[in-house]
Amino acid sequence: MQHSPRRRSILIAGAVGLAGAAHLTSPAVAAPGRTAPVTPPAPALIPKPRSLKMTGGRPFEITADTAVVVRHPAPEARRTAEYLATWLRRATGHAVPVVTSGATPQAITLAVDNETPSAEGYRLDVTHGGVHLRAAEPAGLFHATQTLRQLLPAAAESGTPHAGPWTISPLHIDDAPRFPWRGSMLDVARHFFTADEVKSYIDILALYKINRLHLHLSDSQGWRLEIKSWPRLATYGGSTEVGGGPGGYFTQREYADIVRHAAERHIMVIPEIDMPAHVNAAQASYAELTCDGVAPPLYTGEKGIPNSLCTDKDITYRFIDDVLGELADLTPGPYLHIGGDEALATKPEDYRFFISRAQQTVHRLGKRMVGWEEVGLADIAPGTVVQFWANAAKAQGALAQGAKLVLSPSKKAYFDMKYDANTPIGHDWAGYTDVQDGYTWDPVTYIPGVTESQVHGAEAALWTERVATFEEVQYMTLPRLPGVAEIGWSPVDGRGWEEYRVRLATHAPRWSGLGWRYHRSVEVPWG
């Protein structure tokens, strides 16, 4: 439903948080002199659920008696219950035990939904007596907990107990995503970010039901993952970054911990090792990866430099077998991203040969290949996931071979683009991307001739040549990330920029509670 212009202005004027909660003012207005029942305000959820009804009556309240009850058999459901209880304890200071049986007043129950099976969907009912989260699969239960999180006051995010009251108006939500792939890419190669910073990033992704964290783990300016069979990649190739700072890398243990942290939030890590180009850090570490056998110096500049793995040397393929083999062992998910972008120093026929060999390796390891749109120029297997960023013809070439598309249009979803001329950091080669631009596009209609079933979803991309600190990561990510999340999750009907920006504004106290900086765009009616 689109709001009429008049309604819109009422909503904007009245977008005041209820005790800090993400709520919009009610459209119900009592007649003068009479006490009409007040329709409870609709919560400002992002992504917007498929269906939400305010059911009326007295609110539910979290009290010292509240328990989380698990009635879903999957072990992951128990883990989600523990996650929710931990979050509620920190927010409320109540004990919030996790139990599996017994009649508990004021309970929050996680149960199986046999009626509406869906991989990530869920139903959420709030009544005076309790909260019910139901899902067929554990991922749906997790997403339901994130909806519940947004139904509670933003003060809950700070991680220290707060007095409450912790009330939620009765409602019914029936929700499921539009696309299976809702991603966010972080380039840890141009500037390195620590495992703890990546975990903080994951926590924000979870809040918006993003389910893919794509880590760009190697580039000319740095190699960021320990590879035991080629140790200098990390120890030498990871020893600097753009601007000459100290760089860094994830040990395999740290990386596994990131993957686990993400999995607990039902986020799959998509690891990318970029090849055959963007490889200066690897070639600086091992001279045999160049055609002439001479190692280049480490590179700390910002601009892309031409380079390529030597496509006709056997050692090149031993290298990718070894690296992708160790990566596959660290990757519980089905995908390995091999980059494949901007191979300007590789002849077209060599590029096609190289991508075929890389694809064979990925398949031998039991994984599916993901590549940037350029891999559409090579022979790729049906079901390959191809990430569009700029060139529709290359994406269409991939689709003609049965690929699935993930859309990361650089004009819409590149978070390294400046918001506007005043943005102090970032790029502008794809144009400015303000909050409205980042919200108003559609993954199916963006490229002509694409059908809904060919699209896996949408992904934001944060390249970090000009993003040097984690504060800067935050500033470029928020408030744009919730827009990509909603594009990937919510139906097109019933949402639009004017009502979205009002919902978005109410989320700012939540980000602040989490200690995240954000860009206070003039497009958004912040309270």
| DSSP letters for 123-188 | EEEEETTEEEEEESSHHHHHHHHHHHHHHS-GGGGGSS-----EEE--EEEEE--S-SEEEEEEET
Q: Which sign, positive or negative, has the C-alpha torsion 461, 466, 468, 470?
A: negative
Q: How far is the CB of 216 from ligand TNX (least distance, A)?
A: 8
Closest CB to ligand TNX among 389 and 489?
389
Answer yes or no whether residue 243 interacts with ligand TNX by CB under 6 A. no
Q: Which sign, positive or negative, has the C-alpha torsion 270, 273, 276, 281?
A: positive
Q: Which of 192, 201, 389, 475 binds ligand TNX (CB under 6 A)?
A: 389
Closest CB to ligand TNX among 193 and 414?
414
Site string for ligand TNX, 126-155 (x = CB under 6 A): ------------------------------
Q: Exactly one of 61, 76, 342, 523 is catalytic; name it.
A: 342
417 closest CA partner among 447, 482, 462, 372 = 462
How many residues sit close enough to ligand TNX to count as binding (CB under 6 A)?
Answer: 10
Answer yes or no whether residue 299 interacts with ligand TNX by CB under 6 A. no
Closest CB to ligand TNX among 6 and 303?
303
| DSSP letters for 27-79 | S--PPTTS-PPPPPPPB--SSPPSEEEE--SSPEEE-TT--EEEE--SHHHHH
Closest CB to ligand TNX among 8 and 411?
411
Give φ, ψ of 249 to 5 degrees.
-155, 160
Do 432 and 413 touch, CB atoms closer than 8 A?
no
| 342 in catalytic set | yes
Q: How far is the CB of 493 from ligand TNX (least distance, A)?
A: 32
Q: How far is the CB of 438 from ligand TNX (least distance, A)?
A: 15
Closest CB to ligand TNX among 145 and 477?
477
Site string for ligand TNX, 369-388 (x = CB under 6 A): ---x----------------
3-state SS, one letter per residue, for 328-370 = HHCCCCCEEEEECCCCCCCCHHHHHHHHHHHHHHHHHCCCEEE
Do 61 and 88 touch, CB atoms closer than 8 A?
no
Do 456 and 386 touch, CB atoms closer than 8 A?
no
Hey, which residues between 399 and 418 contact ligand TNX (CB under 6 A)? 414, 416
Q: Which of 223, 299, 463, 489 binds ligand TNX (CB under 6 A)?
A: 463
Closest CB to ligand TNX among 46 and 284?
284
Q: How far is the CB of 210 from ligand TNX (least distance, A)?
A: 19
Answer yes or no whether residue 241 interacts with ligand TNX by CB under 6 A. no
* Gyration radius from the chain CA atoms: 24
Answer yes or no whether residue 427 interacts with ligand TNX by CB under 6 A. yes
Cα distances (angstroms) measured from residue 203 to each of 60, 198, 213, 262, 263: 26, 9, 11, 8, 11
Amino acid at 70: V
Q: How far is the CB of 255 from ligand TNX (least distance, A)?
A: 21
Give φ, ψ of 280 to 5 degrees.
-60, -40
State the DSSP H helix or E strand holding residue 83, giving kind and residue range, or none if neither.
Answer: helix 75-92
| DSSP letters for 474-506 | HHHHTTTHHHHHHHHHS-STT--HHHHHHHHHT
Q: How far is the CB of 390 from ligand TNX (least distance, A)?
A: 7
Please tell me the distance from the alpha carbon of residue 421 to that of residue 433, in angstroms, as a whole number.
10
Closest CB to ligand TNX among 92 and 220?
220
Q: Which of 264, 342, 350, 498 binds ligand TNX (CB under 6 A)?
A: 342
Closest CB to ligand TNX among 264 and 342?
342
Q: Which sign, positive or negative, has the C-alpha torsion 73, 79, 83, 85?
A: positive
Closest CB to ligand TNX among 176 and 273?
273
Q: How far is the CB of 189 from ligand TNX (least distance, A)?
A: 9
Site string for ligand TNX, 33-62 (x = CB under 6 A): ------------------------------
Q: If DSSP codes are grouped into helix, strand and coil, which group holds residue 526? A: coil
Answer yes or no whether residue 341 interacts with ligand TNX by CB under 6 A. yes
Any bridge partners for residue 183, and if so which?
Answer: 212, 459
Answer yes or no whether residue 465 interacts with ligand TNX by CB under 6 A. yes
User: How many other CB atoms are there within 10 angstroms of residue 366's CB atom?
Assistant: 9
Q: How far is the CB of 19 from ligand TNX (least distance, A)?
A: 41
Q: How far is the CB of 341 from ligand TNX (least distance, A)?
A: 3
| Structure tokens that stand for 210 in this block | 């993003």
Active site (catalytic) residues: 342
Q: Which stretches of the chain bind ligand TNX, using CB under 6 A?
A: 304, 341-342, 372, 389, 414, 416, 427, 463, 465
